[in-house]
């Protein structure tokens, strides 16, 4: 019977069970974990999914983590980071949700577009197919076509990733209109693949109203009932809570959801997110999943193992020093808009025995008079990526202060460009030097559009995106930090250093220590007579991982520590 359901899909478009099966797909070879959320959003489903991936990987199981996002945007490229959090960029140039960043960091891996599905992507594929006449006169429906497209994407990942398990995080909360058809697709997947090959994990929240002072499980029960009403029987229920919950709550959840008590787990708040994989192991969640899917654990020599992760968490906790780093940012209110930078700084902490305390600097308020006051007490500053004119003059003043006062400076993308503009204005004496992004009519366009960007009108997916190789100049600081002459980093920009001015900068002491391998684009600048003044056109934070921190960030932290001494 089960076989029939899949072979029905192979027959083609006219079948009610329509689901195209990708080439090379073998049923039962790859297992699936589907993670859903109930009660409220924002309870750490992304970190939980990432951490479950970590524990399974540490057990020698190859995991392919993927995310489904219910918005109609094709990808996250056009989303405002202030509303939605940072736009993360994968090596293949995919602009995606920040959860993919957390999968990469927690699973010590690099992902591609095959790991990220949005409603926009599904519907675009379907409408493109319909326009091309691929549905052969049929009416195109949510079931079977939309659900079929989703199952196809998921199974395709199973094939291309060669993973043992595809771990699917369903964005949003159960009951949302946005993810309803996705849940339906997962219900069908479960039916077609067989119960033994799919494990549903639901993460709910146990409320504790301050007026009552005790945990209440009703909202969690109702959330689970909604999930059950969609035809999904969870195998494991995770109860998120602020503080540990009582056994009676576990029992209530168990009875109301048909999930045995030993498959209901409590996940109270932890001191640090990095502890979650160790905690999941401690409460036996990894074994519960492994048992439920009958997975084979393997011995392995990967960097990602319990010992290394445990060492990272332990040394992070024991850090003796703290440095103060200022970050100039437009989205100062929202940490999520700079999440990768914050994480990259955290990743360095155990390796340098120093925590980083972050101070946000709203550059719209920075003037020549108060810049010293604003940067007082900082051990270093970062000017991160950004777009447009807001706060730009304040950023340039901060760069100037850092350069002149030998304060460690790390410029990331826009921060690289700000450093160029500052140097042009204050060292080369070109008062109106600017980026044409802000001033089209400047007589010194030291930062200008990349040639490939000139005739582009669309906003989405059109920047210079993703991983590119960068050649490192021997003997430079970048060379010392990376320890090699060719690196790969990720980009997301439209503008670049204008090579017309190259000799002007070089003659006045700027070292361009990184250059694109296949194009004539300057990618790293540094100043020699400064303890650490580095600008990078790329985003090293996108590739930083707890077990592989970014060399550029490590170098910056070193310089901050030296200044503190």
Q: Residue for token digits 């905690």? A: 279
> Can 518 be counted among the known catalytic residues?
no
Helices (H) and strands (E) in the chain, counts: 19, 21
Q: Contact between 494 and ligand GLN (CB under 6 A)?
A: yes
Task: Name the minimum Å distance from CB 388 to ligand GLN.
Answer: 7
Task: Name the minimum Å distance from CB 374 to ligand GLN.
Answer: 21
Segments in 357-512 forming alpha helices (H) = 371-374, 392-404, 414-426, 477-482, 502-507
Segments in 60-193 forming alpha helices (H) = 81-84, 98-107, 119-131, 147-161, 180-193
Task: Name the minimum Å distance from CB 403 to ligand GLN.
Answer: 19
Q: Which of residues 364-393 bind ligand GLN (CB under 6 A)?
A: 385-387
- Identify the residue among 492, 510, 552, 558 touching ligand GLN (CB under 6 A): 492
CB-nearer residue toward ligand GLN: 318 or 519: 519
Whether a cis peptide bond, with omega within 30° of 0, leads into 145 is: no
Instruction: Spot the catalytic one: 169, 413, 434, 496.
Output: 413
| Ramachandran assignment for 12, one of left (phi > 0), alpha (psi -120 to 50 degrees), beta (any other) | left
Q: Contact between 497 and ligand GLN (CB under 6 A)?
A: no
CB-nearer residue toward ligand GLN: 421 or 554: 421
> Can 539 be counted among the known catalytic residues?
yes
- Identify the residue among 309, 312, 338, 495 touching ligand GLN (CB under 6 A): 495
Instruction: Spot the catalytic one: 104, 215, 539, 560.
Output: 539
- Is residue 191 within 8 A of residue 183, CB to CB? The reply is no
CB-nearer residue toward ligand GLN: 348 or 447: 447
CB-nearer residue toward ligand GLN: 231 or 452: 452
Q: Contact between 445 and ligand GLN (CB under 6 A)?
A: no
Task: Name the minimum Å distance from CB 211 to ligand GLN.
Answer: 46
Task: Name the minimum Å distance from CB 415 to ligand GLN.
Answer: 7
Return d(Cα 340, Cα 343) in angstroms, integer: 5
Q: Which of residues 259-278 bind ligand GLN (CB under 6 A)?
A: none
Return d(Cα 362, Cα 397) in angstroms, integer: 12
Task: Name the minimum Å distance from CB 464 to ligand GLN.
Answer: 8
Task: Name the minimum Å distance from CB 452 to ligand GLN.
Answer: 12
Q: What is the DSSP pairing of strand 264-268 with strand 409-412? A: unpaired
- The mark string for 391-430 relative to ligand GLN (x by CB under 6 A, - otherwise) is ----------------------xx----------------
List for the chain the helix, strand, coil content (%; round to 5). Answer: 40, 20, 35
Q: Contact between 437 and ligand GLN (CB under 6 A)?
A: yes
Q: Contact between 135 and ligand GLN (CB under 6 A)?
A: no
> Can 300 be counted among the known catalytic residues?
no
Q: Contact between 493 and ligand GLN (CB under 6 A)?
A: yes
What distances in angstroms separate CA 100 from CA 113, 236, 450, one per listed residue?
A: 10, 23, 28
Segments in 26-90 forming alpha helices (H) = 45-58, 81-84
Burial of 10 (0-12, 13-18, 19+ CB in 10 A): exposed
What distances in angstroms separate CA 342 from CA 335, 374, 377, 382, 479, one per listed residue?
A: 8, 20, 19, 11, 24
Q: Residue for token digits 């204005």? A: 425
Residue ranges in contact with ligand GLN by CB under 6 A: 385-387, 413-414, 437, 492-495
What is the set of active-site residues?
413, 539, 541
């Amino acid at each position: 019977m089960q076989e029939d359901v899949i072979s029905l899909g192979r027959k083609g478009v006219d079948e009610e069970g329509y689901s195209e099966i990708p080439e090379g797909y073998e049923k039962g070879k790859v297992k699936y974990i589907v993670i859903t959320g109930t009660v409220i959003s924002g309870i750490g489903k992304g970190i939980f999914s990432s951490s479950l991936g970590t524990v399974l990987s540490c057990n020698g199981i190859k995991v392919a983590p993927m995310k489904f996002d219910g918005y109609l945007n094709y990808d996250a490229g056009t989303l405002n980071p202030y509303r939605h959090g940072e736009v993360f960029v994968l090596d293949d140039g995919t602009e995606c949700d920040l959860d993919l960043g957390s999968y990469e960091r927690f699973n010590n891996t690099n992902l591609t577009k095959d790991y990220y599905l949005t409603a926009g992507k599904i519907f675009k594929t379907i409408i493109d197919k319909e326009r091309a006449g691929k549905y052969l006169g049929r009416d195109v429906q949510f079931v079977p076509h939309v659900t079929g497209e989703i199952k196809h994407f998921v199974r395709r990942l199973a094939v291309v990733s060669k993973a043992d398990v595809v771990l699917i995080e369903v964005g949003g909360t159960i009951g949302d209109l946005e993810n309803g058809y996705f849940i339906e697709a997962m219900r069908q997947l479960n039916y077609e693949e067989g119960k033994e090959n799919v494990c549903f994990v639901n993460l709910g929240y146990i409320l504790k109203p301050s007026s009552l002072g005790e945990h209440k499980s009703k909202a969690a029960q109702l959330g689970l009932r909604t999930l059950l009403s969609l035809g999904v029987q969870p195998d494991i229920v995770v109860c998120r809570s602020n503080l540990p919950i009582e056994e009676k709550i576990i029992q209530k959840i168990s009875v109301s959801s048909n999930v045995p008590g030993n498959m209901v787990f409590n996940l109270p708040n932890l001191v640090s997110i990095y502890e979650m994989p160790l905690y999941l192991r401690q409460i036996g969640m990894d074994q519960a999943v492994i048992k439920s899917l009958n997975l084979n654990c393997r011995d392995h020599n990967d960097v990602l193992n319990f010992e290394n992760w445990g060492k990272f968490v332990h040394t992070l906790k024991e850090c003796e020093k703290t440095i103060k780093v200022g970050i100039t940012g437009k989205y100062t209110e929202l940490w999520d808009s700079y999440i990768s930078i914050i994480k990259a700084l955290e990743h360095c902490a155990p390796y340098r025995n120093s925590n980083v305390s972050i101070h946000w600097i709203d550059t719209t308020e920075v003037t020549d008079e108060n810049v010293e006051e604003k940067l007082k007490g900082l051990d270093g500053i970062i000017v991160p990526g950004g777009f447009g004119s807001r706060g730009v003059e304040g950023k340039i003043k901060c760069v100037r202060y850092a350069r002149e006062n030998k304060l460690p400076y790390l410029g990331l993308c826009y921060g690289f460009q700000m450093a160029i503009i500052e140097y042009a204005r204050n060292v080369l004496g070109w008062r109106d030097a600017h980026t044409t992004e802000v001033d089209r009519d400047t007589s010194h366009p030291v930062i200008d559009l990349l040639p490939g960007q000139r005739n582009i009108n669309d906003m989405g997916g059109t920047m210079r995106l993703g991983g590119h190789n960068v050649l490192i100049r021997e003997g430079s600081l970048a060379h010392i930090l990376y320890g090699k002459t060719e690196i790969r980093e990720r980009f997301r920009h439209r503008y670049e250093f204008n090579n017309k001015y190259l000799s002007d900068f070089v003659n006045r002491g700027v070292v361009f220590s990184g250059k694109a391998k296949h194009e004539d684009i300057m990618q790293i600048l540094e100043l020699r007579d400064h303890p650490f003044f580095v600008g990078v056109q790329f985003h090293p934070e996108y590739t930083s991982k707890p077990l592989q921190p970014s060399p550029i960030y490590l170098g910056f932290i070193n310089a901050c520590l030296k200044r503190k001494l």
